[in-house]
Amino acid sequence: MNMPEGIVFAETLDQAKEKYTVYREKDPLPEIDSALLNSADIMDYVRYTGMIHPFNQADDYFKPASYSVLFNGHYLYWDFKDGKPNRNEKVLKEGESFTLKSNSIAYISLEPLFQLPHYIAARFNLQIKHVYRGLLLGTGPLVDPGFSGTLNIPLHNLTGGDYEIKNGEPIIWMEFTKLSKNQKWSNPKKVNINQIGKFVEFKPSSKNISLSDYIHKAEPNAPIQSSIPQAISEFNKSLKETNGVLEDSIKINKRTDSLLKWFSVSLFLGIAGIIGAVGGYYYNAYNVGKFSNDFILKTEKINSDNQNKIIELNKTVEGLNHRIDSIESRNQLKKLNNAPRDSRSSGNR
């Protein structure tokens, strides 16, 4: 297609806005069919309408039917600090990056200003390298014809590791589709149907909305964050409480075991004590009885021995008495025999 002279890419934002004002409702390239635009058609429509600014013309930014869109450095996310959600928002400088933490969600803004004419719609999806690294965007929503402003997208990090995203890094591929013909923006001479339907334009109130405004509009009173960190936090809290209960249970079991052991020992000692006491009683009683019997036997034996000794002693005394009597008798007889004869004679006379 031959491009008219003077139709060049906008170099400034004001030039892009001027182009958009001229061709917002007027299709400069009616010869292009209503279909998914190829890379050449995308370039031509940007040249005429200023629908993407700034616009990168290098081949690296194109695939056959899509255009690479960059991260502009503006991000917003919430994390937990001291058990409460903490808002983090910043616009990075060139070369800086931010960390999309594991199992978290963050909102990021895309680099260009999009000014879609009323006859072109757009869709986008996450670049495949990010998909294979564990990020999730899902099928991008339809960017309606007539939209004007910066696009913001939510990124989910489903991995167990943190993810660095650098300012200016390619994030999504965007495709553009030309709508079916409508007499409002097409050359009436080339419209072969009598259209009676009404074309509904994009709402002006939804144009040029900032990331913070989008977030506030979506959820004005609460932070928007992944439920996974909170679930993990609650799980860890429950796990900690469970571990505490288990530790207390273990302590109680140990104390119970100690008490059972103590009770068993005490019971054993008590039973042993009773058995020992009874045994000691009977042992002592047996010993006392045996001692008493032995003592009695010994006493009776001693008494018997003493009686025998007394009898023997009496016998000895009687023997001594007999001997004494015998000695006295002999002494008297001896005296008689030794007396003078005169005395004996006179006595006989």
Q: For the chain, which residues make up each domain, given as ranges?
A: 13-224
pLDDT in tens, 158-207: 888 999 999 999 999 999 999 998 877 766 555 555 555 555 665 665 56
Half-sphere exposure of 189 (CA within 13 A, CB side): 1
Q: What is the mean pLDDT of the chain?
A: 79
Task: Name the percent of the chain in helix, strand, coil, to the closest 5.
Answer: 45, 20, 30
74 or 334: which carries more pLDDT confidence? 74
Neighbours of 219 (CB within 10 A): 10
13-224 CATH choice from 2.40.50.140, 3.30.390.30, 2.60.40.10, 2.70.40.10: 2.70.40.10
pLDDT in tens, 98-150: 999 998 899 999 999 999 999 999 999 999 889 888 898 855 679 999 999 99
pLDDT band for position 255 (cuts 50, 70, 90): confident
Question: Which range (106-115, 229-238, 277-286) has the least confidence?
Answer: 277-286
Residue 282 in this model has a pLDDT that exceeds 70: no
DSSP for 93-109, please give it.
PTT-EEEE-TTEEEEEE
Check residue 349 and give its pLDDT.
38
**pTM exceeds 0.75, yes or no:** no
Half-sphere exposure of 191 (CA within 13 A, CB side): 14
Check residue 307 and give its pLDDT.
77
Check residue 76 and give its pLDDT.
93
Residue 305 in this model has a pLDDT that exceeds 50: yes
pLDDT band for position 345 (cuts 50, 70, 90): very low
pLDDT band for position 251 (cuts 50, 70, 90): confident
Check residue 98 and give its pLDDT.
93
Residue 341 in this model has a pLDDT that exceeds 60: no
Check residue 26 and give its pLDDT.
93
Question: Which range (67-76, 77-86, 101-110, 320-329) has the least confidence?
Answer: 320-329
Place of tokens 């004590």: 273
